A and B are shown apart, each in its own frame.
Chain A
Amino acid sequence: MDRHISAPVGRETAEELRAGDYVYITGTIYTARDAAHKRMYETLREGGDLPINIEGQAIYYMGPSPAREGRPIGSAGPTTASRMDKYTPELLDLGMGAMIGKGKRSQEVIDAVVRNKAVYFAAVGGAGALLSKCITSSEIVAYEDLGTEAIRKLTVVNLPVIVVIDSKGNNLYETAVKEYRKI
């Protein structure tokens, strides 16, 4: 089913989404990938605050290529989400509403998605040029020294994603593949 939602993604919205839904996201999202996650995790261990208010936010696992002059961003597709699994349950428990990435998640992440009524979306891996067209502004808000891995605040318009893990724990990677498996 095709849906249009706005970001930040509240719990009510996430709860309505089902694995397999084709979703267009419009609004504000944040990027964070390996190094930013590690730093956020360490900050929390030291008793510090996260650099952004994560409540209801959608985090896009993405590190863009450099922007050409006059453009908000370069190529901007998703990176493999499982590398963030170690840090994810804690962020979900702190209120993170949604994640956008690609690839499988651990059972701990799936449990945390269900527990917190969140959602995991996949964007199409390797479609960075196309996806960059949905990003109208980009601003580094934390960890600038990490370069492409800095935390960016993005404005997106109709960013196309697919619900892979929904708040009930349905997992499209498992159900869809079964349908076409012949061996």
Chain B
Amino acid sequence: MIRTVQTEIITETIKKMCIEANYSLSSDMVKAMRKAEEKEESVLGKQILAQLQDNLEIAASDMIPICQDTGMAVVFLEVGQDVHFEGGSFEDAVNEGVRRGYTEGFLRKSVVGDPILRENTKDNTPAVIHTRIVEGDRVKITVAPKGFGSENMSRVFMLKPAEGLEGVKNAILTAVKDAGPNACPPLVVGVGIGGTFEKCALMAKKALTREVGKHSDIPYVRKLEEEMLEKINCLGIGPGGLGGTVTALAVNVNTYPTHIAGLPVAVNICCHVNRHTVCVL
């Protein structure tokens, strides 16, 4: 049975999600931030984490975006193969949702229309849209506005297979160490291992949308996530990069089959304002 979905509903849903994501964090992130404050050993670090708690409260109660960098809108769409869209272009509908969300929601317009000419598009469009066709008749939308303080510190490493798991660990630590205070720690670290050059980057981005505290089902990957979180928190970078024991809140790793000759690794770094909101239509 084909199910018809009006594109206007996609637009209105994405509008609401852009606004919601920028004014309040999901409950997993809120919990992780509270835990971070308890765990932090540095006095200044604790003070910064307390400020960030206050910041979240002010953002929600006074309707001020959590961070002024309300991001470039990254939108993941899982579209059921039994869905038929009516009402115009699907991608236009997504961008219209971003346009309305960023305009009506008093969010910052941070997108330039060309990377070299750099003229602001003034409505934060276009979004970065990743669409996958899946089974069923539903549309799952994930909106993840991404700030660029942390995006700029993200990396792709094309390792040799011989470098193995140790190589992956070094890549993750290198990226986080180089990011230091620039990426607004405490961080959430998204990692993609395998696939191709672009596939690992996409997996790393998607990993950031995974609930913080939830681990991979693959035993060695889960172990890697736990070990890397511990190692990163031994780097001393701390909240705001001003020293401390909480540098990251989570390391989320996704994997995919790859070529006999390669071991691609992408590390997508996100600040503590790790925004992701999900809706199923």
Give the interface of A toward B (CB within 8 A).
20, 22, 35, 62-68, 74-77, 79-80, 82, 102-104, 122, 124-130, 132-133, 146-148, 160, 162, 164, 172-173, 175-183
Cα of A80 to Cα of B184 in the assembled complex, Å: 9
Q: Is B221 an interface residue (CB 8 A)?
A: no
- The 8 A CB mask of B94-138 against A (1 = contact, 0 = none) is 000000000000111110000000101010000000000000000
Q: Chain A's nearest CB lies how many Å from the CB of B12?
A: 21
CB contact between A124 and one of B68, B109, B235, B240 (< 8 Å): that residue: B240
Interfacial chain B residues near A20, Cβ < 8 Å: 44
Let me know if A128 and B184 touch, CB within 8 A.
Answer: no
Contacts of A160 in B (CB 8 A): 51
8 closest residue pairs by CB, A with B: A176-B243, A181-B236, A180-B236, A125-B184, A103-B182, A129-B59, A182-B234, A75-B68
Interface flags for B49-73 (1: CB within 8 Å of A; 0: not) read 0011011101100111111111000
| B52, A127: Cβ atoms closer than 8 Å | yes
Task: Give CA–CA (A82, B118) in the complex, Å.
Answer: 19
The answer to whether B108 and A177 have CB atoms under 8 Å apart is no
Contact of B41 among A66, A67, A180 (CB under 8 A): A180
C-alpha spacing A162/B62, complex, angstroms:
25
A133: chain B residues at CB < 8 Å are 58
> Which listed residue (B55, B149, B237, B272) contacts A80, Cβ 8 A?
B149
CA A75 to CA B71, docked complex, whole Å: 13
Which positions in B face A, CB cutoff 8 Å? Answer: 41-42, 44, 47-48, 51-52, 54-56, 58-59, 62-70, 106-110, 118, 120, 122, 149, 152, 180-182, 184, 231, 234-238, 240-245, 271-273
A177:B66 contact, CB within 8 angstroms? no
- Asked if B64 contacts A74 (CB within 8 A), the reply is yes
Q: A74-B65, A129-B55 are in contact. Are A82 and B182 (CB under 8 A)?
A: yes
- Give the shortest distance, in Å, between B242 (CB) and chain A (any CB): 5
**Given A173-B181, A177-B241: A129 touches B120 (CB 8 Å cut-off):** no
Which chain B residue shows the least CB distance to A183?
B234
Known: A125-B184, A126-B55, A148-B108. A74 touches B238 (CB 8 A): no
Q: Which residues of A contact B235 (CB under 8 A)?
A: 177, 181, 183
- Could you say which residues of chain B place their CB within 8 Å of the CB of A146? 120
State the CA gap A172–B184 with chains docked (Å). Answer: 15
B69 touches which of A66, A79, A164, A177 (Cβ 8 Å):
A79
Q: Could you say which residues of chain B place their CB within 8 Å of the CB of A175?
A: 243
Q: Are B118 and A35 in contact (CB under 8 A)?
A: yes
**Of A66, A102, A179, A182, which is within 8 A of B184 by CB?**
A102
Residues of B within 8 A of A74 (CB): 64-65, 68, 106, 108
Complex CA–CA separation, A80 to B180 (angstroms): 11
**Cα separation A64 to B69 with both chains bound (whole Å):** 8
Closest to B239 in A: A124
B240 and A180 contacting across the interface, CB-CB below 8 Å: no
Docked complex Cα distance between A104 and B183 (Å): 10
Decide: B106 and A65 in contact? CB cutoff 8 A. yes
In the bound complex, CA of A129 to CA of B68 (Å): 8
Residue of B55, B152, B182 touching A130 (CB-CB under 8 A): B55
Please give, as numbers and ranges, the residues of chain B lying within 8 Å of A173 by CB-CB distance: 180-181, 241-242
Contacts of B41 in A (CB 8 A): 180
Contact indicator B67/A77 (Cβ below 8 Å): yes
Q: How distant is A177 from chain B, measured CB to nearest CB, in Å?
A: 4
User: Do the beta carbons of B106 and A127 come within 8 Å of each other?
Assistant: no
Which residues of chain A come closer than 8 Å to B245, judged between CB atoms?
Answer: 180
